[in-house]
């Protein structure tokens, strides 16, 4: 199976008041094509820092991070920005959308900035609309972003993350700002994308969210303490047992 992300001896250090703070310490892991990997751990353990570091959103102190064969530490800022735009998709807890654009225009904006896919604006709009239909939000296409619900807006963020047909999606607490119903709807869409072949790495504190993933990495004090593998999530009838087994493992890890 193709290795999308390969991380060796990842370190991330901040200097605060002339004191060195080692947030990540010699972290090693890989993500293969088609996986859906959750990162869990206590507050302040380095979960989001890990996600931002391996996706090139944050500078790294010492590491070898290979993304689709590209050593991100060796790329210039321009090359890294191009890699993020063309080959990575991002979903955040805070749904960073431009207020002066419609929902559809926000979704297609990355495609308008990319040179990866050569097409007319009409074709780009049609691809954006197709993604919105797939996630059942096409009726919000012409709405302003303050005219839709949080769940609809997060599904629009998923559409935006997919518009450039990325190799992998990185998601930081994608359901953290949603109620349970909206959270379940968003996770259903992400698991559908994963079943269709999209590789996903997400940070979450929610066991129900992590139970829908194929693997869970547990991080404590900047180190990966353990990992737990699950079969591909295919039906809601599996969820309770998946949650139970994952929760038992997390308790053993000190959750």
Mean pLDDT of the chain: 92
pLDDT for res 142 = 97
pLDDT for residue 199 is more than 70 = yes
pLDDT for res 62 = 62
pLDDT for residue 96 is more than 70 = yes
CA distance 38 to 120: 36
Once rounded to an integer, what is the mean pLDDT over residues 185-198? Answer: 92
CA distance 11 to 141: 42
Closest CA to 70 of 58, 55, 59: 55
- pLDDT tens, 64-82? 899 999 999 889 999 999 9
Describe the strand order of the beta sheet including 19-32 as a list of residue ranges: 19-32, 3-16, 62-67, 70-71
Domains of the chain plus CATH, in order, are 3-253 (3.40.50.300)
pLDDT for residue 61 is more than 80 = no
Once rounded to an integer, what is the mean pLDDT over residues 205-232? Answer: 96
- pLDDT tens, 226-247? 999 999 998 889 999 999 999 9
- pLDDT tens, 25-47? 899 999 999 999 999 999 889 99
HEC string for the chain: CCEEEEEEEEEEEEEECCEEEEEEEEEEEEEECCCEEEEECCCCCCHHHHHHHHCCCCCCCEEEEEECCEEHHHCCHHHHHHHHHHHEEEEECCCCCCCCCEHHHHHHHHHHHCCCCCCCHHHHHHHHHHHHHHCCCHHHCCCEHHHCCHHHHHHHHHHHHHCCCCCEEEEECCCCCCCHHHHHHHHHHHHHHHHCCCEEEEECCCHHHHCCCCEEEEEECCEEEEEEECCCCCCHHHHHHHHHHHHHHHHHHCC
Note the pTM of the prediction, 2 decimals.
0.93
Cα distances (Å, whole numbers) of residue 146 to 99, 104, 143: 8, 13, 8
Q: Which residues pair with 61 in a beta bridge?
A: none
CB 164 within 8 A of CB 110: yes
Q: Residue 216: what are its φ and ψ, rounded to 5°?
A: -125, 125
CB 106 within 8 A of CB 97: yes
Closest CA to 215 of 194, 240, 236, 192: 194
Once rounded to an integer, what is the mean pLDDT over residues 163-176? Answer: 94
CB 65 within 8 A of CB 71: yes
Q: Which residues pair with 169 in a beta bridge?
A: 89, 200
Once rounded to an integer, what is the mean pLDDT over residues 132-136? Answer: 94
Once rounded to an integer, what is the mean pLDDT over residues 133-144? Answer: 96
Assign 124 a pLDDT band (cuts: 50, 70, 90).
Answer: very high
Q: Which two tokens stand for residue 202?
A: 């997400």
């Amino acid at each position: 199976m193709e290795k999308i992300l390969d991380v060796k001896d990842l370190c991330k250090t901040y200097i605060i008041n002339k004191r060195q703070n080692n947030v990540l310490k010699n972290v090693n892991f890989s993500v293969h094509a088609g996986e859906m990997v959750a990162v869990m751990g206590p507050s302040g353990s380095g979960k989001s820092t890990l996600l931002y570091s391996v996706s090139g959103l944050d500078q790294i102190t010492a590491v070898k991070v290979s993304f689709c064969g590209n050593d991100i530490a060796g790329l210039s800022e321009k090359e890294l920005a191009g890699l993020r735009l063309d080959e990575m998709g991002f979903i955040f807890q805070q749904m960073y959308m431009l207020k002066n654009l419609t929902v559809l225009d926000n979704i297609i904006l990355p495609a308008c900035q990319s040179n990866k896919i050569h097409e007319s604006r009409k074709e780009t709009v049609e691809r954006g609309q197709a993604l919105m239909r797939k996630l059942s939000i096409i009726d919000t296409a012409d709405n302003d972003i303050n005219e839709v619900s949080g769940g609809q807006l997060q599904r629009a963020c998923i559409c935006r993350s997919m518009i450039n047909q990325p190799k992998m999606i990185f998601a930081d607490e994608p359901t953290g700002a949603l109620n349970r119903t909206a959270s379940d709807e968003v996770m259903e869409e992400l698991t559908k994308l994963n079943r269709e072949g999209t590789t996903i790495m997400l940070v979450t504190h929610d066991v129900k969210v992590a139970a829908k993933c194929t693997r869970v990495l547990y991080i404590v004090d900047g180190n990966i303490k353990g990992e737990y593998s699950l079969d591909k999530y295919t039906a809601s009838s599996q969820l309770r047992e998946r949650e139970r087994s994952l929760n038992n493992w997390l308790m053993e890890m000190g959750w």
